[in-house]
Amino acid sequence: MTKSTVKAMKGAAAGAATGMLVGYFGKNMKDNKKQIKKKTDKAIETMSSIFDTVSYIFK
């Protein structure tokens, strides 16, 4: 094959792989909304606790 054909095939394969990954993660995020919300709330709560602790230390 010529160089341009090989480059085009590599690009098409990379695009297909990227599309599959985005689709997979997008589907999982849609299906697990409650779990993602729980984890987000827990992370926000933890960060709030850290900021409170740090502000208390500097008082």
Q: Please write the tens of the pLDDT for every residue from 36-53.
A: 778 788 888 888 888 888
Q: How much is the pTM?
A: 0.46
Give the domain extent around 40. 3-57
Q: Specify the pLDDT at position 59.
A: 65
Q: How many domains is the chain built from?
A: 1
**Cα angle 34-38-39, degrees, rounded to a multiple of 5:** 120
Share of the chain above pLDDT 70, in %: 86
Q: Specify the pLDDT at position 28.
A: 67
Quote the mean pLDDT of the chain.
Answer: 77
Higher pLDDT, 23 or 1: 23
